[in-house]
Chains A and B, each alone.
Chain A
Amino acid sequence: MGPGGFSLIPLEGGPPEFGVSAFESRPLFPSQIWLESSGQQAAWTDVWVTNHIAQAVIGAALVIGFWLLVSRRPKIVPGKRQFVGEYLYEMIRNGVARSIIGPQYRRYLPYLLALFSFILVNNLFGQFFLFMFPTFSKIGFAWGLAAASWILYNGVGVKRYGLIKYFSKMTMPHGVPKPLLILVAPLEFISNFLVRPLTLGLRLFANLFAGHLVIMVFVVGGSWLLWSTKASSPDYSPIWNLAGGLSLLMSLAVFAIELLVGCLQAYIFTVLTAQYVSSSLAEEH
Chain B
Amino acid sequence: MSDPKGNDGDGFTALSYILSGLLLYGGLGWLADHFCGTGLFLPIGLIGGLALGVFMVIRRFGASS
A186→B24 contact, CB < 8 A: yes
B16 contact from A176, A199, A282, Cβ within 8 A: A199
Dominant secondary structure of chain A at its interface with chain B: helix
B59→A176 contact, CB < 8 A: yes
Q: How far is the CB of B63 from chain A (nearest CB, A)?
A: 14
In chain A, what residue has the closest Cβ to B21? A187
A278 contact from B8, B24, B59, Cβ within 8 A: B8
Number of A-B residue pairs, CB cutoff 8 Å, is 63
A187→B6 contact, CB < 8 A: no
Number of chain B residues close to chain A: CB under 8 A: 25
Residue numbers in A under 8 Å from B1 (CB-CB): 96, 99-100, 271
Q: A175-B59, A187-B52, A282-B6 are in contact. Are A199 and B21 (CB under 8 A)?
A: no
Q: How far is the CB of B65 from chain A (nearest CB, A)?
A: 12
Of the listed residues A173, A187, A194, A278, the one surrounded by the most CB atoms of chain B closer than 10 A to its CB is: A187
Is A76's beta carbon under 8 Å from chain B? Answer: no
CA distance A211 to B16 in the complex (A): 24
In chain A, what residue has the closest Cβ to B9? A275
Q: How far is the CB of B20 from chain A (nearest CB, A)?
A: 4
Residues 72-124 (chain A) with a chain B CB within 8 angstroms: 96, 99-100, 102
Residues 166-207 (chain A) with a chain B CB within 8 angstroms: 173, 175-176, 180, 183-184, 186-188, 190-191, 194-196, 199, 203
Residue numbers in A under 8 Å from B38 (CB-CB): none
Q: How far is the CB of B5 from chain A (nearest CB, A)?
A: 7
In chain A, what residue has the closest Cβ to B16? A195
Q: How far is the CB of A186 from chain B (nearest CB, A)?
A: 6
Q: How far is the CB of B37 from chain A (nearest CB, A)?
A: 25
Q: How far is the CB of B23 from chain A (nearest CB, A)?
A: 8
In chain B, what residue has the closest Cβ to A199? B12
B6→A190 contact, CB < 8 A: no
CA distance A285 to B8 in the complex (A): 10
A100→B16 contact, CB < 8 A: no
A187→B5 contact, CB < 8 A: no
Is A272's beta carbon under 8 Å from chain B? Answer: yes
Is B53's beta carbon under 8 Å from chain A? Answer: yes
Is B19's beta carbon under 8 Å from chain A? Answer: yes
B53 contact from A187, A196, A282, A285, Cβ within 8 A: A187
Please name 19 further chain A to chain B contacts, defined as beta carbons within 8 Å, in addition to the given A100-B3, A190-B20, A195-B16, sorted by A numbering.
Answer: A173-B56, A180-B55, A183-B48, A183-B52, A187-B24, A187-B52, A188-B56, A190-B24, A191-B13, A191-B17, A191-B20, A203-B12, A272-B10, A275-B8, A275-B10, A279-B8, A282-B5, A282-B6, A285-B60
Spell out A's residues near B (CB within 8 Å): 96, 99-100, 102, 173, 175-176, 180, 183-184, 186-188, 190-191, 194-196, 199, 203, 271-272, 275-276, 278-279, 282, 284-285
Across chains A and B, which 5 residue pairs bring their CB atoms closest together, nearest first?
A195-B16, A190-B20, A279-B8, A275-B8, A191-B16
